[in-house]
Amino acid sequence: METKNQTHIVQFIEALKTVVPEELNELQKSFLQLFSNDVPDYKRLNTLLNDRKLYERMSISYIKNMDLTSEDWKAIHRNLLETDEHAVDSEILTESIDFPPPKGNNSTDSTSTPPEDTEPPLRPPTAPLNVIYFTAELNDTMDDINIRFKKPKQAWPSELSLFVADLDKVQNTVNEIYGGKARESLMRSLAGIARVGGTSTFLELAILQLEQFRNELVLRKGDELKHSFLKALGIYSLVVIGSCLLILVLQNFRWVTFNITSMIDPVLFNNGLFILIGASIGAWLSFAIRKKEIVFSDLRILSDNKSGPLIRLIIVLLISICFYFMFLTNFVNIKIGEFFDTSNLLNIDYRNLAFLVGVFLGLSENSIGGKLTSQIDGFISKF
């Protein structure tokens, strides 16, 4: 019965055979040469299996203390021999076979055709070939996977194009959110998956490995990047809130009142500040509530925690100010129930309404931009 260790070694040797010889290290070449001997040194093979250098640039994981008996190695030889026998060139397997015509007592014509009821000769089935689509290796700086495509003899499967595109996205994401030795380690693993995916035999396996690799990245960095982004967005929101509160406090001084609020209606100015305070809080709450689960496409966005949160907050505040002026001019008016009426923003006693409107605008950050442009389109269509 084939054990798990035997299966692991068979897959490993098959993967080694798909790699271009120039890309194999000396230990891998020695392993293949030793394995191909008529009487292999099984103890030496076991020693090589426990050396981590043997697994460089390979997607097959290292298994510690793997000791196989001579019977195990013979079973592996038989398994690989059966695989090689099936991997015969399809042109040879499908080559036409000429059968001589049936001999009859009065038949002297060698070109005579067989009787109509004679069944055509059976041909051996065509075994699938292991097609190498491309080879892959890391560059010297360990930040890019160089893929060299082979000249195709037939149309490539659609899964291969999707695999290469997804591989490029994952590679860019790794370079974006990691650096140093962590990036080098991940890029080596990704290069191993790329090599496995370059063959028709293991393409499906490589697709599954790449998906697992993406999920592992989300598990490792998803929550960390989310919390970092939330922290940065919260700091910028607190700066806006503190600035607005400071301006409200400074209005008690005569020089501030004369120089600022003398040019602007104090009621409208104060309600505008409460709009900004509410929008800052709403924007932070919106991201914290909506982004409960991080997906792979969010990683690169969240990794930019320097300018990303600031730009996000500025956009929300500017759109909130635009809506505030639309409410003041009755260009847009929202009335819900008996007390919620945006036309009341003109009054000094409705600062709580201004704050609530700002929170709602911040919470709807994902759709507020589209609402604004639709109102503008409706205005332009009147011309």
What's residue 236's pLDDT? 92
pTM over 0.85: no
For residue 239, what are its two tokens? 């700066």
What's residue 261's pLDDT? 53
For residue 30, what are its two tokens? 């020695």
Q: How far apart are CA 323 and CA 353, in angstroms?
A: 14
What's residue 89's pLDDT? 41
Assess contact for 345 and 267: CB atoms under 8 A.
Answer: no
For every residue of 95-156, DSSP letters joined together read ---PPPPPP-SS---TTPPPPTTSPPPP-PPPPPP--B-EEEEE-TTSS-EEEEEPPPSSPP
Residues 6+ apart with CB under 8 A from 328: 268, 345, 346
- pLDDT digit string (tens) for 254-268? 655 555 555 677 778
Assess contact for 192 and 129: CB atoms under 8 A.
Answer: no
Give the chain's length: 383
Q: What is the DSSP letter of 296?
A: G
Assess contact for 40 and 171: CB atoms under 8 A.
Answer: no
What's residue 159's pLDDT? 87
* pLDDT beneath 70: ranges in the chain: 1-6, 20, 38-39, 57, 59-67, 80-129, 252-263, 291-292, 304-306, 337-338, 348, 379, 382-383
- β pairing state of 340-341 and 145-149: unpaired
Q: How far apart are CA 364 and CA 48, in angstroms?
A: 61
